[in-house]
Amino acid sequence: MSSERPLSLQDLIRSRQAGVFVGRERQLAQFSENLRLPVTDPRRRFLFSVHGAAGIGKSFLVRQFRRIAADHGFATGQVDESAYDVPGALAALAADLGPCKEFGKRLAAYRQHRQDLDSDPTAPEGLSSLLTRSTVRAGLAAAGEVPVVGAFTKAIDAKSTAEDVDKLRVFLSRKLRSRDDVELMLSPARVLTPALVSDLNALKQPPVLFFDTYERTSPFLDQWLRDLLAGEYGALRPDVVFVLAGQRPLDLNLWGDYLSIRADLPLDVFTEQEAGSFLAARGVTDPRVAEVVLGLSGRLPVLVAMLAEAQPTSVDEVGDPSGSAVERFLKWEPDPRRRNAALLGALPRRFSAEVFAVAAGSDEHLPWLLQQPFVTEQSDGFQYHDVVRSQMLRALQRRSPAEWRARHHALAEHHGAATLERAYHRLCADRAAALPEALQGLVLAFSVRRSLAPSWARMIVQAGRETDTAEVVQRGSELVDADYTVMIGLLVDDRSLPAATRALAHAERGVLLRAARVFDAALADFEAAVSLAPDELRYVAERGETLRRMGHPADAIPDLDRVLTEEPNNDWALGCRGAAHHALGDLDRSLADLVKAIELRPKYTWALGTRAETLRQMERLPEALADADLAIELEPDYAYGLLCRGSILASMGELDRAAADLERAAELGYRPGHARYLLALISFRRGQDHVAMVESVLADVSGRSDRGLCLLVLGREDDAIAEIRLALTAGFPPKLLAADLRQLRAIIGLDVDPALALLD
């Protein structure tokens, strides 16, 4: 400490606070560094906006800012929610800053006149309210916005205000000796503020002015502060700093002109490291105790501090702060009905007016609730701050378990069947008993759109934690941490689920496995799905499609026939059967199925591509090109369509367009060997060297038919015939091979008659 004065109790308090405060290091460092910057430095900030939810630690941080400012030699003054008008706020600042002689004299005159006028028996009725109106109106954020203050409990419109002020002015002119005194009582902010500015400018130390709980004082201070910064009350010294701490950030529309001098400091809950350091500094070092404290508090600083206050050394010693937290969040509201409505409003995760009415029994108190700082508007309704809500829920469960269950049941019924929020409320009401229903909902959501499933898993974890149901938390956590295949796989053998749900889970996993080309496992899943739900045609169709993709089109046809017998307009099954017929070389049946599928679904991209290839092999090239064009128009990077169109264009002699499509298909990774083979044919046609390209394709491909084609291009006719014989023996459809041979002749004019003779 400085040798100029003896050590004081305040010095000891500041020192002790500095030693125990943990967390917010970044904000503290930023504020401290700012105070050291010259006022002409463009990095210097003169306005700090600290904002965050109730209990987040704003007031604690403000106290540390005051300590830092004092340590840097600044004079500090602070206003909090105890001020209810501008004169009161100015008085609070002056009291902290020290001797403010000019302001002090005017404030004393104001208070004396106010006391005299209030006790004057000749004063007009409601004089005190008239004075309050005048005082408040001077600090309004916008015309007509008047908060509830003191005895004055109704909004004031512009007309009534003008009339009231005229009455007040007549009375004051008779009672007060000078015009200045009349103006002091009519517009105290306009008279008192310049006096305080004068005293601030005369201080030996640069001042830092703090405005805590700003969400409470901003109705009458917000406009006043902007006027102060704009110079309405006189020039301010250049080294003054303002710190506003409230639950909401400053309104950009109102404060946009001050962005260049402003620093925004949004506060969130403690990080795990900050919370751990905070607890350790208070003697809470047992990891198990720390884990319980962090779980109960949600790392909200005020609750962490409350739980750490007694320095618990065991889990049993950790108290539940929820009751105190609820008192903190609702301490401004004396009406027990509103307090109860706020508690019940915490039951839904998000709420509309209708949902709130179900939760609270009516929507009577909804307008009031929506004005509370812990309620925010979202795109799909309103919601509480998570930490505030969790503590209110804990208090509700403790207060009346029966009411808790009944209200959640009512909310579940309101949301209707198979919805996420219904499942949430059922879990909250019935805990583990409702878990199978929630899991059924997850599987159904997964089948509709996989991206919906994680929200169901998170909901299960949330409901489990809010009801302290370990079984529900564990089940949900397993699902949250899993990818889609593992997630749905965790449910296929869950015997708590009905057979129909497990069948659906098997089918969904089968689709994922098939997409990953894990065909044997996919087929096993579809077999299981059909076994569990033999009448569900979708699973039969999926099994057939899987068999087709495994290279067993003949085995796929019976499943697809069964589906189409019962559902003749199933466009997906028609497309699959058309592809199966195509793979078997039955081009006429393939075309019939694909035509009908596309009639039912004109923008069926995959079916269009398959029909284009079928038409190409039937040598109906203009029709094939039209289908390929439409498929690619619908899906520009449709690799199969690009390969097909490139092949069609090559057969039609449009070599440049064909090469562009084939190169793009190869880039997309779809059958790059076949694309390179066709590109080699184009090089051959152009008179370019093609041998190396064909040899590279020959080295990569294993299909006998493809090898036979490459060998023909290379002039190795005997080897080519041998490969083609092996392909036919292995079951390769003669019609498809014939189409490829005719294409080879069309593009490069090669004699393929000896090979075609093998197909007769």
Per-residue pLDDT, 31 = 96
Per-residue pLDDT, 310 = 65
Q: Could you tell me whether strands 381-384 and 375-378 are parallel, antiparallel, or unpaired per DSSP bridges?
A: antiparallel
Phi and psi at 245, nearest 5°, equal: -125, 115
Per-residue pLDDT, 329 = 55
Cα–Cα nearest to 479, from 464, 467, 468, 466: 464
- Residue 119 pLDDT grade (very low, low, confident, very high; cuts 50, 70, 90): low
pLDDT beyond 90 at 373: no
Lowest mean pLDDT among 73-87, 155-169, 218-232: 155-169
Q: 474: number of CA atoms within 13 Å, CB side?
A: 4
Q: What is the CATH number of domain 536-602?
A: 1.25.40.10
Residue found under tokens 């959640």: 408
Q: What percent of the chain has pLDDT over 70?
A: 86
Work out the number of other CB atoms within 10 angstroms of the CB of residue 618: 16
DSSP string, 207-247: EEEEE-SHHHHHHHHHHHHHHHHTTTT-PPPTT-EEEEEES
**Residue 50 parent element (H or E):** strand 47-51
Per-residue pLDDT, 321 = 55
Per-residue pLDDT, 186 = 77
Lowest mean pLDDT among 28-32, 129-133, 186-190, 307-311: 129-133
- Cα(first)–Cα(last) distance of the chain, in Å? 108
Dihedral angle over CA of 116, 118, 122, 124, nearest 10? 140
pTM of the model: 0.60
Q: Are 369 and 388 in contact (CB under 8 A)?
A: no
Per-residue pLDDT, 7 = 63
**Could you give the CA distance from residue 242 to residue 218 in angstroms, rounded to a whole number?**
14
**Could you give the CA distance from residue 400 to residue 705 in angstroms, rounded to a whole number?**
76
Instruction: Decide which of 628 and 53 is more confident.
Output: 628
Identical fold, 9-266 and 536-602: no
- Residue 505 pLDDT grade (very low, low, confident, very high; cuts 50, 70, 90): very high
Lowest mean pLDDT among 122-136, 236-250, 276-290, 564-578: 122-136
Cα–Cα nearest to 184, from 248, 133, 114, 116: 114
What is the average pLDDT across 239-265? 92
Classified as helix, coil or strand, 726 is helix
**Could you give the CA distance from residue 538 to residue 548 in angstroms, rounded to a whole number?**
15
Domain ranges of the chain: 9-266, 272-319, 326-470, 482-535, 536-602
**Could you give the CA distance from residue 398 to residue 395 in angstroms, rounded to a whole number?**
5
What is the average pLDDT across 63-73? 92
For the stretch 723-759, pLDDT in tens is 999 989 888 899 898 999 999 999 999 998 988 988 8
Phi and psi at 218, nearest 5°, equal: -60, -30
DSSP string, 75-112: EEEEE-TT--SHHHHHHHHHHHH---HHHHHHHHHHHH
Instruction: Decide which of 315 and 171 is more confident.
Output: 315
Per-residue pLDDT, 148 = 27
Residue found under tokens 């001042």: 207
What's the DSSP call for residue 316?
G
Residue 636 CB partners (closer than 8 Å, separation 6+) = none
- Residue 322 pLDDT grade (very low, low, confident, very high; cuts 50, 70, 90): low
Work out the number of other CB atoms within 10 angstroms of the CB of residue 445: 21
For the stretch 640-690, pLDDT in tens is 999 999 999 999 999 999 999 999 999 888 888 889 999 989 999 998 888
Cα–Cα nearest to 167, from 191, 140, 144, 133: 133
**Which residues, listed in sequence order, are joined to residue 208 by a DSSP beta bridge?**
76, 241
Lowest mean pLDDT among 302-311, 314-323, 555-564, 663-672: 314-323
pLDDT beyond 50 at 377: yes
Q: What percent of the chain has pLDDT over 90?
A: 53
Mean pLDDT for the chain? 85
pLDDT beyond 50 at 91: yes
- Residue 537 pLDDT grade (very low, low, confident, very high; cuts 50, 70, 90): very high
What is the average pLDDT across 91-108? 90
- Residue 330 pLDDT grade (very low, low, confident, very high; cuts 50, 70, 90): low
Q: Could you tell me whether strands 262-266 and 47-51 are parallel, antiparallel, or unpaired per DSSP bridges?
A: parallel
Per-residue pLDDT, 476 = 96
Is CATH 3.40.50.10490 correct for 9-266? Answer: no
pLDDT beyond 60 at 218: yes
